[in-house]
Every structure is written in structure tokens, then in C-alpha cells.
Amino acid sequence: MEFSPLPGHAHFYPQLNHAIRAEQQISRIIPHLVQAVWSGQLSRTLQQALSMSEQHQLRLAEFCIMPGETENAPADLESRIMHSLHSQQRGSIKDLSLTLLFAKAVQHKISCYEGVLDLDDQGSLTDLKNVVGEALSDDLATDLFLQEQAERFVAREYAHGATA
């Protein structure tokens, strides 16, 4: 596949590549999380997040993307998630740990999309901005749910610990 940016928009593509890599990272991580979590509601949310991520990748693939450099922070986060998957934690504590780490991955993806939107100061990439805006909206909703889920896990563990 040949990469040819739209004329005058080469500055846009490195940031967009970061967003696409974040989507790819999410798609690699989620299947492992789904198998590891105990909460059915969290599992369904993760499966929905995977479906959304796959759709985001398909829609973004419609635009020409230039190759770019990778970042170390997302790789480190993915490593931490994989380590947590294989830890001895169980139940709500493991779900809380995985939820918080996955939320960080989603927040990284949100940051990438916000960076893409900030770059188009001329407003000339309306179609791409619409795709990015929809993905950003999806991810903000997922992030909010993950925060609420983490709070429920903490409350459940605290209530369990308080009665013990």
C-alpha cells in the first residue's frame, strides 16, 4: 500500500498514526482481558469496546496514513496489563486492577484522538474529523463506564472487608 497524505496535511498523519496504533493495541489487549475478568458486565463492556475499536480502525483505514515512529509508553502499559493478567489476584481485586490499566489505555487513545483534532486548525479535513470525533465520543463513554466500574469494585471490596 502506498502512503500519500492529502496535500498540505502531512503534519496531521503522525498524530493520526498514534491513534491507529492505540486502536491496534486495544484490539490486542481486550481478548485477554475478556478471558480474565470475573464481572459479566465488565466482560460485555470490553467486548463492546473491541467491536468499537475494530470499527474505528476500519473507518480510519479509509484515509491515507504515513508510517511513523512508535512510542514506548503504550508498550509499557501493554506490558503492565499482560503482567496483571497473569498475577495471582482474583475476583474484584483483579477486575479493578485490569479495569484501571485498561482505562489508562483508553485514555491514551483519547489523548491521541484529541491531538488529531487539535492539528486541523483550518477545518479542511471534515470527513476525517467526523470519524475521529465519533471514535473520541465512543472512547469517552467507555472511559466513564470504566471509572464507574472501578468505583463499584472498590466499594464491593471495601464493604466485604468491612464486614469481615
pLDDT at 121: 57
Name the band, by pLDDT with cuts 50, 70 and 90, for residue 66. very low
User: How many Å apart are CA 39 and CA 151, to the nearest integer?
Assistant: 13
12-64+74-163: CATH, from 1.20.1260.10, 1.10.150.120, 1.10.760.10, 1.10.10.10: 1.20.1260.10
Span 105-156, pLDDT tens digits? 888 888 877 777 776 555 556 777 788 888 888 988 998 888 888 888 888 8
Span 88-109, pLDDT tens digits? 877 878 888 888 888 888 888 8
User: How many Å apart are CA 130 and CA 132, to the nearest integer?
Assistant: 5
pLDDT at 4: 44
Using the structure block, give the residue that is written with the C-alpha cell 503522525.
14
Sign, Cα dihedral of 45, 140, 65, 129: positive
User: How many Å apart are CA 57 and CA 19, to the nearest integer?
Assistant: 9
pLDDT at 154: 85
| Position 1 pLDDT exceeds 50 | no
pLDDT at 119: 66
Q: pTM to 2 decimals?
A: 0.68
| Position 74 pLDDT exceeds 80 | no
Using the structure block, give the residue that is written with the C-alpha cell 493495541.
25
pLDDT, mean of residues 75-98: 81
pLDDT at 73: 59
Q: What are the residue ranges spanned by the domains of the chain? A: 12-64+74-163
Compare 59 and 140 and report the one with higher pLDDT: 140
Mean pLDDT of the chain: 77
pLDDT, mean of residues 49-72: 68
| Position 70 pLDDT exceeds 50 | no
Sign, Cα dihedral of 126, 60, 71, 107: positive
